[in-house]
Amino acid sequence: MKPFVSILIPALNEEKNIKKCLISTLSQDYPSERFEIIVMDNGSTDTTREIAESFGVRVIDAQDLRIGGVRNIGAKYSKGEILAYLDADCVADPDWLINGITLLLASQSIGAVGGPCHVPDQSTWVQQAWGWKHKDLGTSAVDALSTGSFFIRRDVFDNVGGFNDKIVAGEDTEISKKIKNTEKTLILSSSIAVVHMGYPVSLLDFIKRQVWQSRDYIKTKKNKKDPVFILVHLFAISIALGGVLTIFAKNRYSFGLCLGGSIVLPAALAFYRHIKLRRGCNLTILIQSFFLNFLYLLGRSIGLMISYVNTLARFLRLV
């Protein structure tokens, strides 16, 4: 008998997207009696809840919870031996469920599996440059998975204590780290890719997203050697130190430090991602990617400072 699966969909004011999301989940090539769909409503003020209920799926109240808590409460009220998380602004192919289950159950050494998020066909240049609809990247072991498309066995979920419900964002990186610490493998596969309709459409939305996602950066980094976490520190230090020295010390090397950090580091990150996603010889996309990676590092640096301030505040409350 096929395993029973709980598809868990966290949602907050997703009236524009949740209909397409639910149509895709209800159209899975998997016996309908062997899966359930649960929408965890995080306090929507639009018609998200009403739309979900009109599809006949279960909707539970997850108001006033942070995203980790929203994901946890879905698991609490579910009955599947496999938990399949799909964000409400994502659309899955009909074979998404069976492919995810097959990957997850291929070996007991696998702790969780996930898929990349593609941009929709109709998208802005910001979405296209950042969420590149890359070619089939195959299947590989990774250090962290995002929860836009995420499968995990219930026993593994319970063993690691579920998601961290105290952090604002980065709960996917944090649970990935906990799974890795149990010596389980994380698998990323293009066979369970989804279309992410929630990519930031403008530059302002993009930088605001990076600030929000890094507000608990100290807690949610992959590990102490996480290269992006280190890169954000280098960027923040070079900009801050270069700016201070330029203004107060008038050191002739300070402007170079600031300029170097603001150009070299984003360029290196953009080039790395360009190669990793197999974007080929596309100069326009590379230039756009450089600009977005600059804003990425800037937004993450702001979030990093907030994270340090929050950590210091928590420490002072304990002493």
pLDDT (tens digit per residue) in 137-159: 688 899 999 999 999 999 999 99
Q: For the chain, give the number of residues.
A: 319
Are the C-beta atoms of residues 175 and 85 closer than 8 Å to each other? no
Nearest C-alpha neighbor of 88 from the set 137, 55, 64, 121: 55
At 177, is the secondary structure helix, strand, or coil? helix
Asked if residue 134 has pLDDT above 60, the reply is: no
7-11, 133-137, 155-159, 308-312: least confidently modelled range:
133-137
Q: Do 147 and 209 fall within a single domain? A: no
pLDDT at 244 over 70: no
How far is CA 308 from each of CA 68, 87, 230, 301, rounded to the nearest angstrom? 20, 29, 14, 11
Q: Which pLDDT score, from 0 to 100, does residue 124 have?
A: 84
- The residue among 161, 184, 200 that closes a domain is 200
**Residues 193 and 242 placed together within one structural domain of the fold:** no
Of the ranges 80-84, 224-228, 241-245, 302-306, which is most confident? 80-84
Distance of CA 49 to the CA centre of its chain: 23
Residue from 274, 207, 261, 254 nearest 232 by CA: 261
Query: Are 99 and 61 members of one domain?
Result: yes
For 65, phi then psi, to 5°, come to -110, 150
Give the C-alpha separation, 292 to 306, whole Å: 21
- Looking at the fold, whether 39 and 97 belong to one and the same domain comes out as yes
Higher-pLDDT residue of 139 and 46 is 46
193 pLDDT band, cuts 50/70/90, is very high
Average pLDDT, the chain: 87
Query: How many other CB atoms are there within 10 angstroms of residue 156's CB atom?
Result: 20
CATH number at residue 129: 3.90.550.10
CA-nearest of 233, 288, 284, 235 to 260 is: 235
**CA nearest 112: which of 54, 179, 172, 65?**
179
How far apart CA 288 and CA 266 sit, in angstroms, is: 11
**Higher pLDDT among residues 216 and 107, named by residue:** 107
| pLDDT beyond 90 at 30 | yes
| Maximum mean pLDDT: which of 49-58, 129-138, 201-210, 287-296 | 49-58
Q: Do 45 and 146 reside in the same domain of the chain?
A: yes
* Contact in structure between 235 and 305 (CB atoms under 8 Å): no
- Give the residue from 173, 200, 227 where a domain finishes: 200
> CA-CA-CA-CA torsion for 166, 71, 61, 12, nearest 10 degrees?
90
Mean pLDDT of 90-111: 96
Q: What are phi and psi of 126, to 5 degrees?
A: -65, -45
Q: Across residues 78-85, what is the average pLDDT? A: 97
Whether the CB-CB separation of 84 and 151 falls below 8 Å is answered with yes
| The total number of structural domains that make up the chain | 2
State residue 264's pLDDT score. Answer: 83
- Of 233, 227, 230, 206, which Cα lies nearest the Cα of 288? 206
Cβ atoms of residues 77 and 149 within 8 Å: no
In this structure, the answer to whether residues 183 and 87 fall within a common structural domain is: yes
Q: Are residues 132 and 244 in the same domain?
A: no
- Structural domain ending residue among the three candidates 200, 220, 248: 200
304-315 average pLDDT score: 82
Matching residue, tokens 């072991």: 141
- Residue 288 Cα distances to 123, 196, 266, 276, angstroms: 15, 20, 11, 16
Q: Residue 257: its pLDDT value, please? A: 61
Q: Say if CB 143 and CB 228 are below 8 A apart.
A: no
> Do residues 188 and 297 share a domain?
no
Residues 32 and 164 in one domain: yes
What is the identity of the amino acid at 179? I
- The 10 Å Cβ neighbour count of residue 293 is 24
pLDDT at 294 over 70: yes
| pLDDT (0 to 100) of residue 84 | 98
Q: What's the average model confidence in pLDDT over 22-47?
A: 96
229, 238, 255 from 259: Cα distances, Å: 20, 8, 6
3-state secondary structure of 151: strand
30 and 124, same structural domain? Answer: yes
Domain match, 166 and 104 both: yes
Q: What is the pLDDT at residue 247?
A: 61
Closest CA to 6 of 42, 34, 35: 35
Asked if pLDDT for residue 51 goes beyond 60, the answer is yes
Does one domain contain both 225 and 311?
A: yes
User: What is residue 79's predicted lDDT score, i.e. its pLDDT?
Assistant: 96
Q: What is the pLDDT of residue 274?
A: 74
Tell me the residue range of the domain where 229 lies: 205-318
Max mean pLDDT range (68-72, 132-136, 247-251):
68-72
Of the ranges 99-108, 142-151, 280-289, which one carries the lowest mean pLDDT score?
280-289
